[in-house]
Each structure stands twice: as C-alpha cells, then as structure tokens.
Amino acid sequence: MLFNSLEYFLFLPIVFLIYWALNKSKASQNFLILVASYLFYAYWDWRFLSLIVISSFVDFIIGIQVDKTEKHSSKKMLVAISLFVNLGFLFVFKYYNFFVESFVSMFSNMGLELNARTLHVILPVGISFYTFQTLSYTLDIYYGRMKPTKKIIDFFAYVSFFPQLVAGPIERASNLLPQFEVTRIFTFERGRDGMRQILWGLFKKVVIADNCAIFVDAIYADHAGLGGPILFLAAILFVIQVYCDFAGYSDIAIGSARLLGFDLMQNFNNPYFSTNSTEFWRRWHISMSTWFRDYVFNPITMSLRQFRAKAVYISTLITFTLIGIWHGANWTYVIFGFLQSIALIIEIYNRKSRKKFKKSLSVGQTKLYEFGSWFLLMSFWTYLCIIFRSSTFSSSLTFVKNMFQRPTLEFIPTLQSLGLSSKLLLLIFIVSIVLFVVERINKKFLHGLERMPKNPIIRYPIYLVLYFFVIQYLYGEKSFIYFQF
C-alpha cells in the first residue's frame, strides 16, 4: 500500500478513528496497530508476512534469554543466532543471486565455466529496514543499553509499525518500543502537526519527485545517444528526485505516526546545505547512518583501536561499503559506498589542516570558501547519484563521458523528441526552489510546515495551494525509490 494511493487515504483515517475510539485501553490500541500493520504489509504480498513474524518471534525470545543469561559466551551465541536468522533472510532474498552471479562472472573471465543455480525469488518490500530494526533490539540488550520487553504484542507492533515498516525511519527499540508501553493522549496540536507533515511529504513526493522522475526515466533510458545539456539536466533532476522522494516518504511516515500519538526520529535535516561529506551523512538518512555508526563503525573502530588513526580509516571504508551494499545487490551500489568512504577518509585525514586554513581567512573569504566546499560536495554527490541511478557502472561512465563530450546537441528539440514538456520542467525548478528555501528557513524545525503563520488568512491559503498541487499531480501512484531496498 503506497502512501500516495487512494487505499492509504482510506486506510489511515479508518485506523485513526478506531484507534482513538480505543483510547481507554492501550493494549487494544497496540493490538489494532499490529493487525493494521500486517494488513498494510499484506497488501503487497501476504506470503512475506511470515518473514516479519519469524524475525519478531526470534528476537523477542532471544532478547529475554540474553537478559537472563549471565555467561558471556552464551550471550554471544544467542546474538549469533539472531544475526544468523535475520541476516540469513536478508542474504537469501536480497543478495544470494548477486553473489552467485558475481562469482560465476569472475571465474568465467578466468576461463572457468561454473554451473551455479540462482533463486527465483522476489525481494520482500522493506526487508532491509525491519531487519535492522529487530537487530538493534537484540544488540541493545546485549550491550546493556535496554531491558527486554515481555509483552509480545507490543514488540510485534514495534517491529511492524506500519508508518515506518517498509522504508523507515529505522527506529531503535530504545526510542519507539517504550512508546507502546505508555498511554497515548490525542491533542489537536499534535494531530494538526501530523497532517501538516503528511501534506509537506506528499508535496515533495507527488509534485516534485514524481515529476522529476518523468524526465529522469526518459533521459536515462536513452542516455547513450544524448548530449551534455540534457544529461546534466537528468543528473540534477535525479539529485532533487532522490531527496524529495525519500524525505517525502519520511515526512508522511513521521506525520502518520504522530496522528497515532507516536514520535519517530527525524530522518533528514537539510542535507543539501552541507559543506562536506561528514556533515552530509549526519543530515542524510539519519536513522540509517546512525545505525551503521553505532553497530558497525564504532565496534570495528574499538576492535582496531591499537592502529589509532588507521582504525578510523578502515572502519570508514568497511562501513560505507556496507552502506552501499545495503542499498541493493548491484555493483553500482558497492562502488557508490566505496567512493563515498574514500571522500570521508580524505576529509578525516586533512580535517586539522582545513580548520587551520579556514581560521586564516577573512569573513568574505570564509563565505567564498564555504560556497566552494558546498559546490564541490554537491558536484561529487551528483556524480555518486549518477552511479546510484545507472543499471551498471560502465553505463554510468558512458553517461558522464557524454555529459562532457557532446555539449552541442540542442536542448529544447531534444526535450521535445523525448516527449518532455519544458513548461513542466520550469514548474519543477520553481517549486524545488520554494521547497529548499522554506526548509532552509525552518532548519531548526522538524519539517517545512511546522512553523506556519498564525494568521489564518495567510495560513489556510498556503494549505490550499499545496493541496491543489498534490491533487493536480497525484497520478499513477508511483512507488517510492527506497521501496526497492
């Protein structure tokens, strides 16, 4: 069930009304969330519900046992079982075919032919997200950061909570699970803010991301025969699309949860206004980057601490390569993560010299330096997004080569030959500028509409304009990019 579908527009109000009618019993509310979440997920394919149920049951039992067990080796064994079950599902459904095909191709290039079988399976929606969510529960208990719950309905509802089930934010049990254990109280202010954030998310997704996709899909499908200006356009539009698509999803998820009395973590914080990669990854997909920081980067760094600075470099390389693989079973994602790790290692290496250089600059020079840093970061991110969007790495190289080697092909005639509207393109850039300006102004708030003018004569027309745009461009129920991860 897509957030931008008629089904969800009916599903959410029904759940909302029944949920708050049960406000005298939080146990009944939690059970309703569990049932609603399973229905929400079953709308895609009910067969894959079994994976969520198994993962939930395994980690529920293991969490209790880890807390009871005093022997450290036994705790490690229990955690290993959790890792085996959860990552095993992830490997079989998402990565098995990728690794088999890669090994076959590698040996074929060496002149050796292997006969290996691949699995004819489809990727369960959201498996990367809820797998990490259940793992964080077991690992936090193992590290002593929290106590396990003995309320199975609460835990199953936490794992499958429908607003963030299929594409995050990846919530920690320490934040979300306690919210199932307390009484939620509905207030008009929270409900209003939830609706505002949903509207803002739909505006990002439906008006900006989906219209960017029209251009990006058409140009990428035929990019080998196109020239520089049109390819530059596609690259820039995909940078806008991937942000508005995923940040839009996060806004709708957070807003939907708020309607039910839950607070999910902020997942994006003006990442495109960062001036270096380190800052960027503190602002982009925050729930994922902090998950990898706490459960991958920090443990590896601690285990290699005898190597001092080299430990950080090695941890960064491993962590961001894994982040790339997390995004999908394709070498483009591996290279995406690897190149990002190299950029971060370079930043870490010259951090002190950069700070020293910046202190030596005047105020005007500092502004110029920050602009240059921003431009360099966004140019690099645009290149990474080309790799991210391409079907193969060689295809991304062809794309970049043609951007610079074919600068003379006419722009407007090329748009027309692809059936693309220059008027729609102008609209995309206008509303994108409005979006980024509003979010920049409201950078201290959770979303662009959290701080609205108090005067209803100004406030309600803004809502109506956004609503009009959403309805105007709500066509095709286009899926979210991160559903494939």
Q: Which residues are catalytic?
A: 327
Alpha carbon distance 292, 406 (integer Å)? 40
Alpha carbon distance 418, 222 (integer Å)? 9
Q: Is it true that the peptide bond before 178 is cis, omega within 30 degrees of 0?
A: no
Alpha carbon distance 203, 195 (integer Å)? 12
Structure tokens at 454: 């108090």
Q: Do residues 270 and 249 make contact, with C-beta atoms less than 8 angstroms apart?
A: no
Q: Where are the alpha helices (DSSP H) in 297-391?
A: 298-303, 309-327, 331-349, 351-359, 363-389
Q: Do residues 157 and 56 make contact, with C-beta atoms less than 8 angstroms apart?
A: no
Alpha carbon distance 55, 58 (integer Å)? 5
Return the exposure string of 307-327: e unless at least 16 CB atoms fall within 10 Å of the residue's CB, then b.
eeeebbbbbbbbbbbbbbbbb
Alpha carbon distance 310, 245 (integer Å)? 36
Q: Do residues 256 and 163 make contact, with C-beta atoms less than 8 angstroms apart?
A: yes
Q: Do residues 335 and 318 make contact, with C-beta atoms less than 8 angstroms apart?
A: no
Alpha carbon distance 329, 318 (integer Å)? 16
